[in-house]
Structure 1
Amino acid sequence: MVQAGQPNKGQNWQHWVHETYRQAQYGQLLHGKTMVVAVSGGPDSMLLMHWLAEVRHLQDNPMQIIVAHVHHGFRLEESQQEALLVKQAAEELGLIFEMTQVDSPGYAKKHHLNPQAAARELRYAFLKSVANKYNSPAIALAHHADDQAETVLMHMLRGAGSSGLRGISWIREEEGIRYVRPFLHVRKQELVAWCQTRGIAYALDSSNQKRAYLRNRLRLDIMPLLEQENPRITEALVQLAETMAAEDDWQQQHTDELFRSHVHSFGVEVKEDTGALEGTLKQQYLRFAMQYTAGCLMKRDVFLSVHVALQRRLIKLILNYLFLEAEQADFSTIERLRLRITEPKTTWREEAGNKVIAIREYDHIAWLSGRRDGAEPASVQCHIERGSGEMFYSSYPSKIVWNEMAVRQMEPDFLGDKFDAMFDADAIQWPISVRTRRQGDRMRVKGLNGSKKVQDMFVDAKVPSSLRDAMPIVEDASGQILWLPGIRRSDIALIGPATRSVVHIRFEPVS
Structure 2
Amino acid sequence: MLEAKVENFISRHSFSLKNKKIVVGVSGGPDSLALLHYLLGQREKQNLSLVAAHVDHMFRGEESYQDAMFVKSFCEENGISFEMARINVPQLIADSGKSSQVAAREARYDFFQKMMEQYGFPFLAIGHHGDDQIETMLMRFTRGSTGKARAGMPFQRPFHKGCIFRPFLSITKEEIEGYCQDHNLKPRIDPSNQKSIYSRNRFRLEVLPFLKSENKQVHDHFQRLSEDLHTDEDYLQELTAQAMNKVIIKREKAR
Q: TM-score if structure 2 supplies the norm length?
A: 0.92
Change (3 A) 1:105 1:203: same
* 1:210-359 correspondence to structure 2 within 5 Å: 210-262=195-247, 264=248, 276=252, 278-279=254-255
- AA aligned opposite 1:173: P
**2:88 alignment partner in structure 1:** 103
Higher helix share: 2
**Quick one: which of 25, 30, 52 aligns to 1:43?**
30
Larger RCO (alpha carbons 8 Å, 6+ apart)? 2
* 1:179-190 correspondence to structure 2 within 5 Å: 179-190=164-175
- AA aligned opposite 1:51: Y
Give per-residue Cα distances to partners, 1:6-52, cap 9 Å, x unaligned.
Answer: xxxxxx7xxx5355234313886432232100000110100110111
**Quick one: which of 115, 118, 125 aligns to 1:140?**
125
The alpha carbon displacement at 1:110 in A equals 1.5
Counterpart contact for 2:129–2:168, Cα < 8 Å? yes
Give per-residue Cα distances to partners, 1:267-323, cap 9 Å, x unaligned.
Answer: xxxxxx8982534xxxxxxxxxxxxxxxxxxxxxxxxxxxxxxxxxxxxxxxxxxxx
| Structure-2 separation of matches of 1:90 and 1:32 | 20
SS of 2:168's partner is coil
- AA aligned opposite 1:169: P
Give per-residue Cα distances to partners, 1:421-480, cap 9 Å, x unaligned.
Answer: xxxxxxxxxxxxxxxxxxxxxxxxxxxxxxxxxxxxxxxxxxxxxxxxxxxxxxxxxxxx
SS of 1:235's partner is helix
| Structure-2 separation of matches of 1:218 and 1:19 | 25
- AA aligned opposite 1:278: A
| Structure-1 separation of matches of 2:58 and 2:193 | 16
When Rg is computed on C-alpha atoms for both structures, the one with the higher figure is 1
Structure 2, unpaired ranges of 5+: none
The yes-or-no answer on 1:71 pairing with 2:71 is no
Structure 1, unpaired ranges of 5+: 1-11, 265-272, 280-511
- AA aligned opposite 1:254: L
| Structure-2 separation of matches of 1:111 and 1:121 | 12
- AA aligned opposite 2:113: K
Count of matched residue pairs:
254
Change (3 A) 1:145 1:134: same
Give per-residue Cα distances to partners, 1:369-426, cap 9 Å, x unaligned.
Answer: xxxxxxxxxxxxxxxxxxxxxxxxxxxxxxxxxxxxxxxxxxxxxxxxxxxxxxxxxx
Counterpart contact for 2:89–2:103, Cα < 8 Å? yes
**2:7 alignment partner in structure 1:** 21
**Quick one: which of 49, 53, 57 aligns to 2:40?**
53
| Structure-1 separation of matches of 2:206 and 2:92 | 30
Counterpart contact for 2:170–2:219, Cα < 8 Å? no
The alpha carbon displacement at 1:231 in A equals 4.6
| Structure-2 separation of matches of 1:239 and 1:208 | 26
Counterpart contact for 1:17–1:55, Cα < 8 Å? no
- AA aligned opposite 2:25: A
Q: TM-score if structure 1 supplies the norm length?
A: 0.47
Counterpart contact for 1:47–1:194, Cα < 8 Å? yes
* 1:374-385 correspondence to structure 2 within 5 Å: none
The alpha carbon displacement at 1:200 in A equals 0.8
Counterpart contact for 2:125–2:164, Cα < 8 Å? yes
Change (3 A) 1:18 1:218: closer
| Structure-2 separation of matches of 1:200 and 1:232 | 25
**1:32 alignment partner in structure 2:** 19
- More off after superposition, 205-214 vs 18-27: 18-27
- AA aligned opposite 1:21: E
% identity of equivalent residues: 35
Counterpart contact for 1:155–1:164, Cα < 8 Å? yes
Counterpart contact for 1:138–1:179, Cα < 8 Å? yes
- AA aligned opposite 1:88: S
The alpha carbon displacement at 1:250 in A equals 1.4
Give per-residue Cα distances to partners, 1:88-113, cap 9 Å, x unaligned.
Answer: 11111100000000011111222221
Change (3 A) 1:274 1:255: closer
* 1:74-223 correspondence to structure 2 within 5 Å: 74-223=59-208
| Structure-2 separation of matches of 1:53 and 1:226 | 33
The alpha carbon displacement at 1:132 in A equals 0.4
| Structure-1 separation of matches of 2:137 and 2:15 | 29
The CA RMSD over aligned residues, in Å, is 2.1
Change (3 A) 1:19 1:226: closer
Counterpart contact for 2:154–2:227, Cα < 8 Å? no
| Structure-1 separation of matches of 2:183 and 2:223 | 27
The alpha carbon displacement at 1:84 in A equals 1.2
Change (3 A) 1:181 1:160: same
